[in-house]
Amino acid sequence: MHTERGTSIVPANRVTWTPAGFTHYHRAHGNTDMRILFLPASLARLVPGHPAVFMVSDLAREILLTLTGPSPRARAARVRLRRVLVDELHEAQERPLQLPEPRDDRLRALAQLLYQEPANNTSLAELGQTIGASARTLSRLFHSELGMTFYEWRTQLRIYRALVLLADGHDTTHVAHACGWANPSSFIAAFSNLVGTTPGRYRLSGFG
């Protein structure tokens, strides 16, 4: 999901929320079953006023499937289900997998290099020499503008790329090396920490 704040990565165990007024577009990869539900203003006020990604509970998942499924529901039943869904989102933990969009020209140049080659293991200092900025300056910009370190941002980028490759049917070993990890075990650990499941289980989950 892309908004003015950057790219939010939404794997199968999460749900994304985009309030009214935020320009956005989405892109799905692989064999994805994506469900979209609109909330009335009276309920939308109870959900955060910014784009967010939540861990989805089993109950919230089933409500979403029911409200967007082929079987029609009475209006009163739909109203009740939407209220329960909002309650679930209100209690849910925000677990963003976000790739913030750099604004500074130096960060944008660095980001473009890694977008094109996420497996690039060049250090921040060496990347800085390529784009004409010191490692200290770039590190400060990552903190002040994106709210994370360079290495956290690069890991998010690699996980995003990994999710796309997994959706395209590639195995864990191929994805690990394509995204810059030295071995599959270190990739599995990083993936599980951010996504909440292993790459193998994620592939079997049906991607959404």
Three-state DSSP at 133 gives: coil
Q: What is the pLDDT of residues 71-82, one digit of tens each?
A: 777 889 999 999
> Given pLDDT bands bounded at 50, 70 and 90, which one contains residue 201?
confident
Q: Which of 32, 55, 26, 10 is CA-nearest to residue 159?
A: 10
Residue 136 has a pLDDT of: 95
Q: How far apart are CA 177 and CA 168, in angstroms?
A: 15
Q: How far apart are CA 42 and CA 24, in angstroms?
A: 22
pLDDT greater than 50 at residue 208: no
Domain with CATH 1.10.10.60 in the chain: 102-204
- Mean predicted confidence (pLDDT) in 181-202: 91
| 141 Cβ contact list (under 8 Å, min separation 6) | 102, 104, 106, 107
Residue 97 has a pLDDT of: 73
pLDDT greater than 60 at residue 207: no
Residue 206 has a pLDDT of: 52
Q: What is the pTM of this model?
A: 0.72
Q: How far apart are CA 46 and CA 86, in angstroms?
A: 7
- Mean predicted confidence (pLDDT) in 93-109: 84
Q: Locate 181 and state its tokens.
A: 């990890």
User: What sections of the chain are H helices per DSSP?
Assistant: 41-44, 58-67, 75-91, 105-116, 124-131, 135-141, 150-167, 172-178, 184-195, 199-204
Q: Which CATH superfamily is domain 102-204 in?
A: Homeodomain-like (1.10.10.60)
> Which of 18-32, 48-62, 120-134, 136-150 is least confident?
18-32
Q: What percent of the chain has pLDDT over 90?
A: 52
- Please give the span between the terminal C-alpha atoms of the chain, in angstroms, as a whole number: 14
> Given pLDDT bands bounded at 50, 70 and 90, which one contains residue 205?
low
Residue 96 has a pLDDT of: 67
DSSP notation for 88-105: HHHHSPB---EEEPP-SH
